[in-house]
Chains A and B, each alone.
Chain A
Amino acid sequence: MLRVILLSVSVFLFFCYSGNAQQQKNSVLTKSVDKFFCYASADEELDKLAKVLNVKFNFNRERLSRFELTNDFHADNLEFILKAICRATNSRYFIAEDNTIYIIGRRETYTPEVTLALQKAENREQIRAVFELPQKLNVTVAGKITDVNNGEPMANVTVSVLGKSGGTTSNVDGYFTLFNVPSDTAILEFSSVGYTVSKYFLSPQKALDSVNIQMLSSKNALNEVVVYGKKAQSFKLNQKVSMIKMTPALISTLPSIGEKDIFRSFQLMPGVSAANENTSGLYVRGGTPDQSLVLFDGFTVYNVEHLFGFFSAFNSNAIRDVSLYKGGFESKYGGRLSSVVDINGKEGNKKEFNGGADFSLMSVNLFGEGPIAKNVTGIINYRKSFRTSLYNKIFDKYSGESGTETNNNAGPFGNSNQKTRSFFYDLNAKFTWKPTTKDVFSWSIYNGKDNLDNSIIPEIPEFLRGSGGNFGINIADITKWGNTGSSLKWSRRWNKKIFSNTLISYSNYFSNRDRSANITTTDDQGKETTIRRGTLEDNNLKDYSVKTDVEIKLNKHNTIETGYHITHNDIKYSYAQNDTSKLVDRATKGNTYTAYLQDKISFLKDRIQLIPGIRATYFDQTQKMYYEPRLNATFDITDNIKLKGSAGKYYQFAKRVIREDILQGSRDFWVLADNYKLPVSSSVQYVAGISWENKTFLIDVEAYQKKLTGLSEYSLRFQISPGQSSFSENFFQGTGYARGIDILVQKKFGKYNGWMAYTLGEAVNNFEVYGKNDFYAANDVRHEFKTVHMYKLNRFDFSATFILATGRPYTAPSGAYTVTLLNGTEQNYFTVSDKNSYRLPSYHRLDLGVTYNYGEAGSRNGTIGLSLFNVYNRQNIWFKNFEISNNNIITTDVNYLGFTPNLTFTYRFK
């Protein structure tokens, strides 16, 4: 009996002890971390984890150092983290008596210490199987992807099952739905440009329809002393046909002159011409900037330039991401012939307040962001230029004016003060309200303006001032342009399969030019008289739009996208040479009503993806329907090799027309097609390409061809035809085509990364007014080679860019002559070669940059940057000036900027 009692007591004590030990071990495993990012080798991460959780690990350091981890953990316990690490490193773990956690390889030869600990472990079941058994097969996973630092939703993130081809991308609000995931224990991989690749381990214990993924910006990672961001790309090219996605974060390391500029960065890509220092507009595959649709948070931006085009109108600090479609864009985009730039603004940090400032030698750029109220975030960015020697250098070069303050002899009026006042500013603000987990409302505002005042105010000599009357002469030379835009967007995720976006927007572009003299006289009786003479130009465009886009994921292989766009355009343009006669006075209003439907179909195990689509627009100015059939296709021949192609038709209803102005520089203005003098422009495009991509390198080749009809130009130079009443009808029609091949070789990751891009292109126009023959378009560039190299060394980022391009075509005088006009003045005229039959010399330029990253991510940090533009001071020719002297034609080269250094400084609170 005693024995029975003793045995019972022993068993009881044993179980008590075992239970206690088990409890202790379980308590170790239940320790959890709020945030834990694994972006280094497994051994390093285990060291960090040991410190954070105050636990002890034992592992084979040599073996585990070979595994790179890319996992994010949020409020996960140690058990979950260990399972993930073991899965990633093909290991198992067990907890020894002293609570040391041993991590052992599945086929590893154990050390005596490990063997002993293993033997002492209570039983083999203590070695937990890390490969959980799935409970569900063929599941659908849905969720949302945000930036871990500020909670910004992330669009266009590639979501896939690890080790499998195919997948999906997150939509504009960060939502994704992935069908046909093999099991509820699969590993998902998330990758996005500018972010470290993230893995997520599904588990039967976790919900599959509300997966929240938080990705780590590689910029933050790069700021760390330890290089974590080994898997961050500076841009992503190979996601869709002819599409490049970029985030401003990584562009900050590229050399810049004055401003970090997303458009300038796109110019380093194949197919986007870079040999234009004086325009940040995009010349994409032989197209002109007005043929690119630029959307900022859904509203159309009609002018993208600051300071005569040297900078784009977009503040990089306000931009979350940008996608450039070089051609073959889908049916949901329309209204332009060549390309699409879709910019998403930041929503603002939803976790905490953050602010910062950027300073360069010509501007200051401030921003503040943070949560405003419950579920409401906001961000405000403001940038303004100031006059420095760098600003003046660029200003003087491109405004055609010299000096900022000059004294002119103004004849009888004595000296005059010509004080040039010039500045630009832009303001971005965005407020986002998320009342439910399914709804997002956002209000985005943009306002930017350039102002150039080169007016002359003569100083009236004392002797001319006296009793009685007075007079004043104000010779105005004022150029202003800018944009104001706003959009109000409602995004709703109705369920896992249906997502919609509804947007109302307003956009206004204005451009005024006033080069005139206002002569105001006041006589003895106090009577004031004003006379105005000169050139007055006014272009004002208003765009009111409403649109809805709906995405319906029918199943893994089929996603339907449909929607409507309604746009009302109100465009005015007037051009007068004095206040009594207007050469051009147009005011056009028009509506476009558009509906589209496209179907994203994939088959052959997702290796083939087809997106047939149709876009139909009714344009009330012409009272016609315009149909735009489009097809995009990709075929993954292997995991590394992809074939791609697209074909489609594109129409443009609002277009920019260049008005040649010889004396005061050409100007452009927007007009609405009328199908009379200004036809609706159209293009037919074909793209075919192939790419090879592995984890480190990408080689991409795309060939394109587009045929353009209904192009327009305006000129006063041609005699108006008999019966034509005025110059306002001096619009000329033409056609054109562009074709070429873009090649990109990119090293995507690593301390050293970069790319080489080459484009072989041709852009040809035909305007009957210039003759029957085709001629090369002014933006035709035959060869363009660009190479970008970036190297990270501790806290320093070094970068170098080199551009080599064929010179642009130009028209040279074949001769000249003089005619004595009615008032006796002798006027020189040039006779010309065939249009654009000459070429400027090749354009080439080397820029270097170095950026020092100070501080730590999450606390005060920033950068100090030095850029050297045009390092070897190449005298690239902008254009040639011709004059007649002693019966001979004298040619003078006007060059682009020479060597120009720039310093930048950025500061972030967090």
Chain B
Amino acid sequence: MATIKNVFFNVCMLAFLISCTKEDQKNNEAKAVVEAFLQPGIAAQIKVTKQIINGVENNGSRTIDALNVIVTYNNTTYVFKQNSFGVYENTGMPVVAGATYSLQFVYNNETITASTTVPQKPVNFTCSPGSITIPSFSGGPGGGIPSFPEPLKAKWNNTNADYHYIAIKSVDPAASEISTNGRGPAFANTPDQGNSKEINFGEFKYYGRNALILYRVLPELAALYNSTSSNSQNLAAVPTNIVNGLGIFTSVNIADTVFIDVKE
């Protein structure tokens, strides 16, 4: 009788350990993290890195090498190769508005997939006035008051309430940095569904010629901007459109770039 009991107990314990081991193993395996923002006119790039695992040493490079990354578009499969930065790239694949692209690769014996449909190009993007004068803040005592400019008003068509995001990039290599250096009252710029935005002087980092880039983005990207939890009271799963993986495989489309001259 005692033997039967022991056998039963051991079987139970074994079953328990097996189930635990499998689960633990799965939890401790780093998943692939995908970063891809397909954009018409830009060579498609896909970055794949390893997830950081809590409770284990995560030293060294996070890049996952030697993957067979493919993207299918219009029934054609495009193979992506790693470039010198470890990023997977295919310069021959056209990125077309309205088209759907499907990603696939295998990592750790799991097939990772994702897809995205490129949004249409935003139109009628304007920004006025075309220049803004930001006074230098490096002056000493005795200087006069700088006359602060009104904010710029950017507008675009958005009949479908799509998400848009404006990025500002300096395109003048010789430009000097504005001494506010982003420490002014600039707030996190997040995608929203409006059709206009006021751009205040504090959002510019460099004098000279700056490009205002209006991105039309997809909801999966907008959601990422609102998912920066960092404490146990509200930690929850970050949305991802990667099956069996993490990160984002999305697409954007930009309006015709508007340039703003930032003057001193």
Chain A residues at the B interface, C-beta cutoff of 8 Å:
409-413, 461-471, 473, 475, 516-517, 519, 521, 523-524, 529, 531, 533-534, 577-578, 580-581, 583, 660-663, 666, 715-720, 725-726, 770, 778, 810-823, 827-832, 835, 838, 840, 879-884, 886-889, 894
Contact = CB atoms under 8 A, between A and B. Distances in A.
Top 5 A-B residue pairs of the complex, sorted by shortest distance between their CB atoms:
A411-B183, A412-B137, A810-B232, A517-B185, A716-B226
B196 A580 contact: yes
A410 B190 contact: no
A463 B140 contact: yes
Nearest to A883: B230
A533 B179 contact: no
Contacts of A409: 183
B102 interface: no
Given A823-B189, A830-B238, A888-B58, A464 B147 contact: no
B179 A412 contact: yes
A360 B200 CA distance: 47
Interface hub of B165, B197, B233 (most chain A Cβ within 10 A): B233
Nearest to B182: A411
A717 B52 contact: no
Nearest to B239: A719
A881 B231 CA distance: 4
Contacts of B139: 463
B62 A879 contact: no
A533 B200 contact: yes
7 contacts: A410-B183, A462-B141, A521-B148, A661-B234, A662-B231, A814-B53, A889-B54
A523 B35 CA distance: 45
Nearest to A877: B232
A466 B143 contact: yes
B236 A715 contact: yes
Given A581-B193, A880-B232, 5 more contacts: A463-B140, A660-B229, A717-B223, A817-B33, A830-B238
B185 to A, nearest CB: 4
Contacts of A827: 224, 228
B196 A468 contact: no
Contacts of A820: 35, 47
A720 B225 CA distance: 13
Given A534-B187, A718-B239, A464 B146 contact: yes
A818 B47 CA distance: 11
Given A523-B148, A533-B200, A822-B167, A828 B228 contact: yes
Interface stretch (B5-13, B70-78, B106-114, B212-220): B212-220
Contacts of B237: 770, 831-832
B165 A830 contact: no
A408 to B, nearest CB: 10
Nearest to A524: B147
A819 B247 contact: yes
A774 to B, nearest CB: 16
Interface of B: 27, 30-31, 33, 35, 37, 47, 49, 51-55, 57-59, 62, 137, 139-151, 161, 165, 167-168, 179-181, 183-185, 187, 189-190, 192-194, 196-198, 200, 202, 215, 217, 219-239, 241, 246-248, 252
Nearest to A660: B234
Given A470-B145, A581-B193, A718-B239, A816 B226 contact: no
B224 A718 contact: no
Nearest to A726: B193
Contact of B228 (A533, A814, A829): A829
A401 to B, nearest CB: 16
A822 B188 CA distance: 13
A215 to B, nearest CB: 46
A647 B260 CA distance: 69
Nearest to B27: A814
B147 A580 contact: no
A881 B185 contact: no
A581 B224 contact: no
A308 to B, nearest CB: 13
A580 B236 contact: no
Interface centre among A726, A815, A886 (most CB of B within 10 A): A815
A879 B235 CA distance: 11
A718 B220 CA distance: 8
Contacts of B219: 719-720
Contacts of A821: 224-225
Given A533-B187, A822-B252, A887-B52, A726 B230 contact: no
B234 A831 contact: no
Contacts of A464: 137, 143, 145-146
B231 to A, nearest CB: 5
Contacts of A815: 30-31, 51-54
B107 to A, nearest CB: 14
Given A831-B246, A889-B52, A580 B198 contact: yes
A823 B187 contact: no
B235 A812 contact: yes
A463 B142 contact: yes
Nearest to A470: B145
B190 to A, nearest CB: 6
Task: Point out which of B200, B215, B227, B241 has the most chain A C-beta atoms below 10 A from its C-beta.
Answer: B227
Contacts of B140: 463
Nearest to A809: B232
Nearest to A412: B137
A824 to B, nearest CB: 8
Contact of B52 (A521, A577, A778, A817): A817
B181 A411 contact: yes
Given A412-B180, A814-B27, A887-B58, A819 B230 contact: no
Contacts of A883: 230
Contacts of A819: 33, 35, 224, 247-248
A309 to B, nearest CB: 13
A409 B180 CA distance: 12
Contact of A411 (B52, B184, B236): B184
B17 to A, nearest CB: 19
A469 B145 contact: yes
